[in-house]
Amino acid sequence: MSRALLLRILSAAILIPVAVGGAWAGGWWFSAVVGLFALGMAWEWAAMSHRVSPVAGQDAAIIATVAATTLAGAAGWFAWGVGIGILGAGGLAILTARQAVRARWLAPMGTLYIALAVLTVLHVRLAGGALPTLWLFVVVWATDIAAYAAGRSIGGPLLAPALSPRKTWSGLLGGATAAAIAGAALAVATDGPPAWAAAILGFCLAIVAQAGDLAESAAKRYVGIKDASGLIPGHGGVLDRLDGLMAAALAFAILQLCLGEDLLGWR
């Protein structure tokens, strides 16, 4: 076993119980876990943005905006959180508008994306409870693991070579299939929604999760880095680990808003 793979397994063995325990406990325990990851993502995005738009005050504004939206979400004030995120992103856009920088859009767009993703993860737990939150985690983890395994073992045509040099169509389909199976299995095991409904939603969210993965890869390629940071040994940065979950949580929360908070019927 390579050292990189060993570090990856050890990191997962620590982080998964933390995430599952926080989601099961809910309340401020879950908010604390989400807050730590949110600060990590904000710090990483500030560092990435600084490479192409080194504007004074920008880094602090990114971190402050994400921290404030997380606190608002933890308190259940989601509308305030969305407003803070939009105001923060708008302020960053103004801050960089008249500067001679390479990318004026990167800092505000990424900050708003992280802020909304953090709010939606908190909303899924508050509105749906522990089981839908854990179901979402399981679907994304199954996607990540199976996409990696299928891509490595099957190979084949690349999915988006301009954005990522390693992701393949076989990985996309393998990850989505595994997410459907894992989502259905958890629904059956917990006496939750119909297996077919959980499988279809899991399959769709897996596609969204991998789109989020590609979006983060595109941002890293744009600024010229491989990993967002080295905060998680074996995995790279917090953004590298949570890019799929962020996109899937956003899609899940949008579906909750459109179809009802009891989206999968656990309550």
Where residue 10 falls among pLDDT bands split at 50, 70, 90?
confident
Mean pLDDT throughout 78-95? Answer: 95
| Same domain, residue pair 236 and 141 | yes
The pLDDT, as a whole number, for residue 4 is: 66
Same domain, 95 and 178: no
Nearest to 132 by CA among 241, 26, 35: 26
Answer whether residue 267 shows pLDDT above 60: no
Closest CA to 50 of 112, 101, 113, 11: 101
Alpha helices in the chain (DSSP H): 3-25, 27-52, 58-74, 78-97, 106-128, 130-153, 169-189, 195-223, 238-259
Say if 239 falls within a structural domain: yes
DSSP 104-120: SSHHHHHHHHHHHHHHH
Q: Exposed, middle or buried by CB within 10 Å (0-12, 13-18, 19+), for 187?
A: buried
Render pLDDT for 21-39 as a digit per residue (tens, 0 to 9). 999 999 999 999 999 999 9
Same domain, 101 and 189: no
> What's the pLDDT score for residue 161?
85
Q: Are residues 95 and 187 in the same domain?
A: no
| Judgement on whether residues 36 and 76 belong to the same structural domain of the protein | yes
What pLDDT, on a 0 to 100 scale, did the predictor assign at position 58? 94
Q: 156 and 169 in contact (C-beta within 8 Å)?
A: yes
Cβ atoms of 171 and 244 closer than 8 Å: no
- Rounded CA separation 194/182 (Å): 13
Is 9 domain-assigned?
no
Q: Are residues 118 and 160 in the same domain?
A: no
Look up the domain containing 55 and give its range: 27-128
Mean pLDDT of all residues in 220-231: 90
Return the sign of the alpha-carbon dihedral for residues 13, 14, 20, 21: positive
Between helix 238-259 and helix 27-52 the angle, nearest 10°, is: 120
Is 19 inside a domain boundary?
no
Residue entry with tokens 């999760």: 209
Work out the percent of the chain whose per-residue pLDDT is above 90: 66
The confidence score (pLDDT) of residue 64 equals 97
Look-up: residue for tokens 């099957």?
A: 154
Q: pLDDT value at position 101?
A: 78
Looking at the chain, the whole-number percentage of residues with pLDDT higher than 70 is: 96
Residues 91 and 159 in one domain: no
Provide the number of structural domains found in the chain.
2
User: 237 in a domain, yes or no?
Assistant: yes
The 10s digit of each residue's pLDDT in 96-145 is 887 877 788 899 999 999 999 999 999 999 888 899 999 999 999 999 98
What is residue 103's predicted lDDT score, i.e. its pLDDT? 82
The winner for highest mean pLDDT among 44-48, 96-100, 160-164, 219-223 is 44-48
- Could you give the CA distance from residue 184 to residue 5 in angstroms, rounded to a whole number? 29
How far is residue 16 from each of residues 12, 43, 181, measured CA to CA in Å? 6, 22, 20
99 and 182 belong to one structural domain: no
φ/ψ (deg, to 5) at 59: -60, -45
Place of tokens 């179809």: 259
Give the domain-ending residue among 128, 148, 167.
128
User: In this predicted structure, what is the pLDDT of residue 13?
Assistant: 83
Closest-CA residue to 125 (of 32, 2, 196): 32
Does some domain include residue 101? Answer: yes
Give the pLDDT confidence score for residue 1 in this predicted structure: 60
**Final residue before a domain boundary, out of 91, 111, 128:** 128
195 pLDDT higher than 90: yes
Q: Does 114 share its domain with 188?
A: no
Which pLDDT score, from 0 to 100, does residue 164 have? 81
Task: Centre a 10 Å sphere on the Cβ of residue 13 and count the other Cβ atoms it contains.
Answer: 9
Same domain flag for 248 and 133 = yes
Same-domain status, 62 and 114: yes
Q: Could you read off the pLDDT of 48-74 as tens digits, one per residue?
A: 999 998 888 999 999 999 999 999 999
* Mean pLDDT to the nearest integer, 36-49: 96
Predicted pLDDT of residue 118: 96
Do residues 117 and 245 both lie within one domain? no
pLDDT band at 78 (very low <50, low <70, confident <90, very high): very high
The Cβ of residue 227 has, within 10 Å, a number of other Cβ atoms equal to 14
Mean pLDDT of the chain: 90
Domain boundary among 94, 112, 128: 128
